[in-house]
């Protein structure tokens, strides 16, 4: 599983990355977490409100700081 965090470096984006790491650790799954800061790549996903969360190439959330539990629900 591949999880991508889309964000150009705002505080919320960093917090989302942190929550994603914790959610993965909690779930016990094997997942690759990648922070995408390149604006062109973010645009290719069609996301305009950061932070965005992408799981296996699919945008599941935009403009929201999801909690650890919310992310855990999305990856399970």
Partner 1 sequence: MFDWWQRIVDSLVYGKFGLDSKSALGSALDFFLFDTAKIFLLLTVIIFVVTVIRSYFPTEKVRDYLEGKHPLVGHIAAALFGIITPFCSCSAIPLFLGFIQARIPLGVTFSYLISAPMNNEIAIAMLFALFGWKITALYIGFGLLVAIVAGIVIGKMDLEDEILIKPPAAKPPKLEEVKIPFKERAKEAWDYTKDILKKVWLYIIAGVGIGAFIHGYVPTETIVKYAGGDAWYAVPIATILGVPMYSNAAGVMPLIEVLTQKGMLLGTALSFMMAITALSLPEAMILKKILSIKLISIFFGVVALGIMAIGFIFNAILS
Active site residues per annotation: 10, 13
Q: Which stretch binds partner 1 (CB under 8 A): 5-13, 14-22, 25-33?
A: 5-13
Tell me whether strands 58-62 and 32-36 are parallel, antiparallel or unpaired. Answer: unpaired
Binding residue for partner 1 (CB under 8 A) from 18, 48, 56, 76? 48
Decide whether 24 or 47 has the Cβ nearer to partner 1.
47
Compare residues 2 and 41 and give the one whose CB is closer to partner 1. Answer: 41
CA distances from 12 to 9, 43, 47, 75 (A): 8, 18, 15, 20
61 binds partner 1 (CB under 8 A): yes
- What would the two tokens of residue 8 be? 């150009």
Query: Edge-to-edge strands of the sheet including 32-36?
Result: 32-36, 2-6, 52-55, 58-62
Question: Which residues of the chain form contacts with partner 1 (CB under 8 A)?
Answer: 8, 10, 12, 39-40, 42-50, 58-64
């Amino acid at each position: 599983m591949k999880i991508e965090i889309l964000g150009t470096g705002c505080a919320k984006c960093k917090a989302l990355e942190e929550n994603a790491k914790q959610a993965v650790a909690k779930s016990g799954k094997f997942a690759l977490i990648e922070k995408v800061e390149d604006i062109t790549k973010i645009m290719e996903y069609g996301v305009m409100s950061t932070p965005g969360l992408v799981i296996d190439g699919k945008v599941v959330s935009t403009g929201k700081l999801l909690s650890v539990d919310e992310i855990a629900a999305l990856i399970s």
